[in-house]
Amino acid sequence: MKTILTSLVISLALGLAAAPASAACYADYKARKSAPFQLHYGVIKLPANICNQPRKISRNIQKRISVGGWRLLNVMSVFGPEGLQQRRASAGRFFLKY
């Protein structure tokens, strides 16, 4: 009986470890380029494991947008999928680009 209970507890623990930590999250942000001077507002999908970690969010966004020559000015907010449609028009071509 003890062996069965131990096996059940281990199976449950492994199952929980394999489950996703949280649902998808997104951030809206402002960025700029220097030459020529440009600004943009964008929406980006974040890795689920950093959704509650502001420093990691900023670093992740900066790394990804720097490919296009952009510098992160600020992260406006972090939100779930329910906030995507209301931001689509404002983000324009920077909606989920990076």
pLDDT, residue 51, reads 95
Q: Is residue 86 part of a domain?
A: yes
Q: Is residue 7 part of a domain?
A: no
| pTM, two decimal places | 0.75
- Per-residue pLDDT 10s for the chain (98 aa) are 544 433 433 443 433 333 344 579 999 999 999 989 999 999 999 999 999 999 999 999 999 999 999 999 999 999 999 999 999 999 999 999 99
Domain count within the chain: 1
The Cα–Cα gap between 27 and 51 comes to 9
Structural domain containing residue 41: 22-94
Per-residue burial over 20-46, b = 16 or more CB atoms within 10 Å of its CB, e = otherwise: eeeeebbbbbebeeeeeeeebbbbbeb
> Is 13 contained in some domain?
no
